[in-house]
A and B are shown apart, each in its own frame.
Chain A
Amino acid sequence: AQSVTQLGSHVSVSEGALVLLRCNYSSSVPPYLFWYVQYPNQGLQLLLKYTSAATLVKGINGFEAEFKKSETSFHLTKPSAHMSDAAEYFCAVSSSGNTPLVFGKGTRLSVIA
Protein backbone atom coordinates (compact mmCIF):
# COMPACT_ATOMS: atom_id res chain seq x y z
CA ALA A 1 0.00 0.00 0.00
CA GLN A 2 1.09 3.53 -0.66
CA SER A 3 1.13 6.34 1.84
CA VAL A 4 2.25 9.95 2.15
CA THR A 5 3.42 11.80 5.23
CA GLN A 6 3.55 15.56 5.26
CA LEU A 7 5.57 16.88 8.18
CA GLY A 8 3.98 19.95 9.71
CA SER A 9 0.30 20.65 9.38
CA HIS A 10 1.03 24.38 9.47
CA VAL A 11 4.08 26.26 8.24
CA SER A 12 4.51 29.99 8.62
CA VAL A 13 7.13 32.01 6.72
CA SER A 14 7.89 35.67 6.20
CA GLU A 15 7.32 37.25 2.81
CA GLY A 16 10.50 36.81 0.78
CA ALA A 17 11.73 33.86 2.85
CA LEU A 18 12.38 30.33 1.64
CA VAL A 19 9.40 28.01 1.56
CA LEU A 20 10.05 24.34 2.40
CA LEU A 21 7.17 21.89 2.68
CA ARG A 22 8.11 18.33 3.48
CA CYS A 23 6.71 15.15 1.96
CA ASN A 24 7.80 11.57 2.47
CA TYR A 25 6.19 8.68 0.68
CA SER A 26 5.96 4.95 0.92
CA SER A 27 5.50 2.88 -2.20
CA SER A 28 6.32 -0.67 -3.20
CA VAL A 29 6.64 0.33 -6.84
CA PRO A 30 8.29 3.30 -8.50
CA PRO A 31 5.97 6.14 -7.64
CA TYR A 32 4.39 9.01 -9.46
CA LEU A 33 4.47 12.01 -7.12
CA PHE A 34 2.47 15.22 -7.16
CA TRP A 35 2.05 18.48 -5.32
CA TYR A 36 -1.33 20.17 -5.41
CA VAL A 37 -2.36 23.54 -4.01
CA GLN A 38 -5.81 24.40 -2.69
CA TYR A 39 -6.87 28.00 -2.18
CA PRO A 40 -9.82 28.67 0.13
CA ASN A 41 -13.14 27.46 -1.28
CA GLN A 42 -11.51 26.17 -4.43
CA GLY A 43 -10.53 22.87 -5.96
CA LEU A 44 -7.05 21.40 -6.22
CA GLN A 45 -4.59 22.76 -8.73
CA LEU A 46 -1.55 20.80 -9.83
CA LEU A 47 1.72 22.53 -8.97
CA LEU A 48 4.12 19.92 -10.28
CA LYS A 49 4.59 16.21 -10.87
CA TYR A 50 7.33 13.61 -10.91
CA THR A 51 6.88 10.73 -13.34
CA SER A 52 10.33 9.08 -13.40
CA ALA A 53 12.03 11.60 -15.65
CA ALA A 54 14.22 14.35 -14.15
CA THR A 55 14.52 14.19 -10.36
CA LEU A 56 14.33 17.99 -10.00
CA VAL A 57 10.91 19.07 -11.11
CA LYS A 58 9.92 22.65 -11.78
CA GLY A 59 6.31 23.67 -11.44
CA ILE A 60 4.11 26.70 -11.65
CA ASN A 61 4.43 29.88 -9.56
CA GLY A 62 8.16 29.37 -8.95
CA PHE A 63 7.82 26.10 -7.02
CA GLU A 64 10.06 23.13 -7.48
CA ALA A 65 10.54 19.72 -5.86
CA GLU A 66 13.30 17.16 -5.82
CA PHE A 67 12.68 13.42 -5.88
CA LYS A 68 15.14 11.63 -3.60
CA LYS A 69 14.67 7.89 -3.78
CA SER A 70 17.17 7.12 -1.02
CA GLU A 71 15.25 9.36 1.37
CA THR A 72 11.80 8.53 -0.06
CA SER A 73 11.17 12.26 -0.12
CA PHE A 74 9.65 14.80 -2.46
CA HIS A 75 9.95 18.14 -0.66
CA LEU A 76 8.47 21.28 -2.17
CA THR A 77 10.48 24.51 -2.19
CA LYS A 78 10.22 28.09 -3.37
CA PRO A 79 13.11 30.53 -2.93
CA SER A 80 11.00 33.56 -2.00
CA ALA A 81 7.51 33.41 -0.53
CA HIS A 82 4.81 35.73 -1.75
CA MET A 83 1.61 36.63 0.05
CA SER A 84 -0.35 34.92 -2.71
CA ASP A 85 1.29 31.59 -1.82
CA ALA A 86 -0.81 31.31 1.34
CA ALA A 87 -2.88 28.17 0.79
CA GLU A 88 -3.13 24.47 1.65
CA TYR A 89 -0.60 22.21 -0.06
CA PHE A 90 -1.07 18.50 -0.62
CA CYS A 91 1.48 15.90 -1.59
CA ALA A 92 0.12 12.82 -3.37
CA VAL A 93 1.40 9.52 -4.73
CA SER A 94 0.11 7.03 -7.25
CA SER A 95 1.52 3.77 -8.52
CA SER A 96 1.12 4.47 -12.22
CA GLY A 97 -0.85 6.46 -14.71
CA ASN A 98 -4.61 6.33 -14.39
CA THR A 99 -4.70 5.09 -10.79
CA PRO A 100 -6.14 6.81 -7.72
CA LEU A 101 -4.10 9.35 -5.81
CA VAL A 102 -3.19 8.82 -2.17
CA PHE A 103 -2.91 12.19 -0.44
CA GLY A 104 -1.07 13.42 2.59
CA LYS A 105 -2.98 15.32 5.23
CA GLY A 106 -1.90 18.66 3.86
CA THR A 107 0.21 21.57 5.05
CA ARG A 108 -1.25 25.01 5.48
CA LEU A 109 1.20 27.70 4.46
CA SER A 110 0.87 31.15 6.00
CA VAL A 111 2.92 34.06 4.68
CA ILE A 112 3.58 36.94 7.05
CA ALA A 113 4.16 40.43 5.73
Chain B
Amino acid sequence: DSGVTQTPKHLITATGQRVTLRCSPRSGDLSVYWYQQSLDQGLQFLIHYYNGEERAKGNILERFSAQQFPDLHSELNLSSLELGDSALYFCASSVEHEQFFGPGTRLTVL
Protein backbone atom coordinates (compact mmCIF):
# COMPACT_ATOMS: atom_id res chain seq x y z
CA ASP B 1 0.00 0.00 0.00
CA SER B 2 1.59 3.25 -1.20
CA GLY B 3 -0.58 5.49 0.96
CA VAL B 4 -2.05 7.21 -2.11
CA THR B 5 -5.77 6.66 -2.58
CA GLN B 6 -7.84 7.08 -5.70
CA THR B 7 -11.57 6.95 -6.20
CA PRO B 8 -13.45 5.47 -7.86
CA LYS B 9 -11.63 2.28 -8.86
CA HIS B 10 -13.76 1.80 -11.92
CA LEU B 11 -15.87 4.21 -13.93
CA ILE B 12 -18.05 3.37 -16.90
CA THR B 13 -19.68 6.19 -18.79
CA ALA B 14 -20.86 7.23 -22.22
CA THR B 15 -19.33 9.43 -24.89
CA GLY B 16 -19.95 13.12 -24.35
CA GLN B 17 -20.19 12.80 -20.58
CA ARG B 18 -18.06 14.40 -17.88
CA VAL B 19 -16.37 12.61 -14.97
CA THR B 20 -14.25 13.54 -11.97
CA LEU B 21 -11.43 11.38 -10.64
CA ARG B 22 -10.19 11.96 -7.13
CA CYS B 23 -6.76 11.48 -5.58
CA SER B 24 -5.60 11.80 -2.01
CA PRO B 25 -1.81 11.98 -1.62
CA ARG B 26 0.26 10.48 1.15
CA SER B 27 0.16 12.46 4.35
CA GLY B 28 2.54 15.39 4.08
CA ASP B 29 3.25 15.09 0.34
CA LEU B 30 2.68 18.42 -1.40
CA SER B 31 3.07 17.21 -4.99
CA VAL B 32 0.45 15.38 -7.00
CA TYR B 33 1.04 14.08 -10.51
CA TRP B 34 -1.55 12.64 -12.89
CA TYR B 35 -0.66 10.04 -15.51
CA GLN B 36 -2.68 8.24 -18.15
CA GLN B 37 -1.95 4.63 -19.12
CA SER B 38 -3.39 3.33 -22.38
CA LEU B 39 -2.47 0.55 -24.76
CA ASP B 40 -1.77 3.05 -27.54
CA GLN B 41 0.24 5.66 -25.69
CA GLY B 42 1.67 3.80 -22.72
CA LEU B 43 2.20 5.80 -19.54
CA GLN B 44 1.99 9.53 -20.17
CA PHE B 45 2.31 12.45 -17.82
CA LEU B 46 -0.71 14.73 -17.77
CA ILE B 47 -0.24 17.42 -15.11
CA HIS B 48 1.62 18.25 -11.89
CA TYR B 49 0.43 20.27 -8.92
CA TYR B 50 2.50 21.42 -5.98
CA ASN B 51 0.81 22.79 -2.88
CA GLY B 52 -2.20 23.96 -4.85
CA GLU B 53 -0.33 25.48 -7.78
CA GLU B 54 0.00 24.02 -11.26
CA ARG B 55 3.68 23.25 -11.88
CA ALA B 56 3.83 21.47 -15.21
CA LYS B 57 1.63 20.26 -18.01
CA GLY B 58 2.24 17.29 -20.21
CA ASN B 59 0.07 15.72 -22.89
CA ILE B 60 -3.17 16.88 -21.35
CA LEU B 61 -6.09 17.57 -23.64
CA GLU B 62 -7.99 20.85 -23.39
CA ARG B 63 -11.07 18.82 -22.45
CA PHE B 64 -9.23 17.73 -19.30
CA SER B 65 -8.54 19.91 -16.29
CA ALA B 66 -7.30 19.40 -12.77
CA GLN B 67 -6.96 21.18 -9.49
CA GLN B 68 -5.42 20.65 -6.07
CA PHE B 69 -7.36 21.76 -3.04
CA PRO B 70 -6.13 23.28 0.25
CA ASP B 71 -6.25 19.87 1.92
CA LEU B 72 -3.91 18.71 -0.92
CA HIS B 73 -6.29 16.24 -2.52
CA SER B 74 -6.57 16.58 -6.26
CA GLU B 75 -9.27 16.08 -8.84
CA LEU B 76 -8.94 15.38 -12.53
CA ASN B 77 -11.93 16.44 -14.58
CA LEU B 78 -12.51 14.85 -17.98
CA SER B 79 -15.25 16.28 -20.18
CA SER B 80 -16.80 15.62 -23.58
CA LEU B 81 -15.50 12.10 -23.25
CA GLU B 82 -14.50 10.12 -26.31
CA LEU B 83 -13.94 6.41 -26.79
CA GLY B 84 -10.21 7.06 -26.92
CA ASP B 85 -10.22 8.45 -23.38
CA SER B 86 -10.72 4.94 -22.04
CA ALA B 87 -7.61 4.27 -19.99
CA LEU B 88 -6.17 3.77 -16.55
CA TYR B 89 -5.57 7.07 -14.77
CA PHE B 90 -2.98 7.16 -12.03
CA CYS B 91 -2.07 9.80 -9.57
CA ALA B 92 1.20 9.87 -7.69
CA SER B 93 2.43 11.93 -4.80
CA SER B 94 6.06 12.62 -4.15
CA VAL B 95 8.67 13.56 -1.67
CA GLU B 96 11.84 14.79 -3.39
CA HIS B 97 12.54 12.47 -6.31
CA GLU B 98 10.43 9.43 -5.40
CA GLN B 99 6.86 9.14 -6.64
CA PHE B 100 4.31 6.90 -4.95
CA PHE B 101 1.49 5.73 -7.16
CA GLY B 102 -2.12 5.14 -6.31
CA PRO B 103 -4.01 2.05 -7.51
CA GLY B 104 -5.54 3.95 -10.42
CA THR B 105 -9.01 4.60 -11.78
CA ARG B 106 -10.02 2.54 -14.79
CA LEU B 107 -12.21 4.64 -17.07
CA THR B 108 -14.28 2.96 -19.73
CA VAL B 109 -16.10 5.15 -22.23
CA LEU B 110 -18.84 3.38 -24.18
Are A97 and B97 neighbours in the complex by a CB distance under 8 Å?
yes
Do A98 and B42 touch across chains, with their CB atoms under 8 A apart? no
Give the interface size bracket for A toward B: 20 to 34
Contact A44 B90 (CB under 8 A): yes
Contact, CB under 8 Å: A98 / B31? yes
B64 at the interface (CB under 8 A from A): no
Q: How many whole Å from B36's CB to the nearest CB in chain A?
A: 11
- The yes or no answer to A103 lying at the interface (CB within 8 A) is yes
Interface of B is mostly: strand
Question: Do A100 and B33 contact each other (CB < 8 Å), given the known contacts A43-B104, A105-B42?
Answer: yes
The CA of A35 and the CA of B44, in the complex, are separated in Å by 16
A23 to chain B, nearest CB (A): 14
CB-CB contacts of B86-108 with A at 8 A, as 1s and 0s?
A: 00001010101111111110000
Stretch in A12-20, A45-53, A63-71, A77-85 touching the partner? A45-53
**CB-CB < 8 A to B104: which residues of A?**
42-43
**For the complex, what is the distance from the CA of A109 to the CA of B106, rounded to whole Å?**
23
Asked if residues B97 and A98 are in contact (CB atoms below 8 Å), the reply is: yes
Measured CB to CB, the closest approach of chain B to A1, in angstroms, equals 12
Given A43-B2, A45-B2, the answer on whether A100 and B48 have CB atoms closer than 8 Å is yes
Q: Are B56 and A100 in contact (CB under 8 A)?
A: yes
Residues of chain B contacted by A105 (CB below 8 angstroms) = 42
Could you list 18 A-B pairs, sorted by A, with CB under 8 Å? A32-B97, A43-B2, A43-B102, A44-B101, A90-B43, A94-B97, A96-B97, A97-B96, A98-B31, A100-B45, A100-B56, A100-B58, A101-B45, A102-B45, A103-B43, A104-B42, A105-B42, A106-B43
Q: List 4 additional contacts besides A96-B97, A97-B96, A98-B97; criterion CB under 8 Å.
A: A51-B97, A98-B50, A101-B99, A105-B42
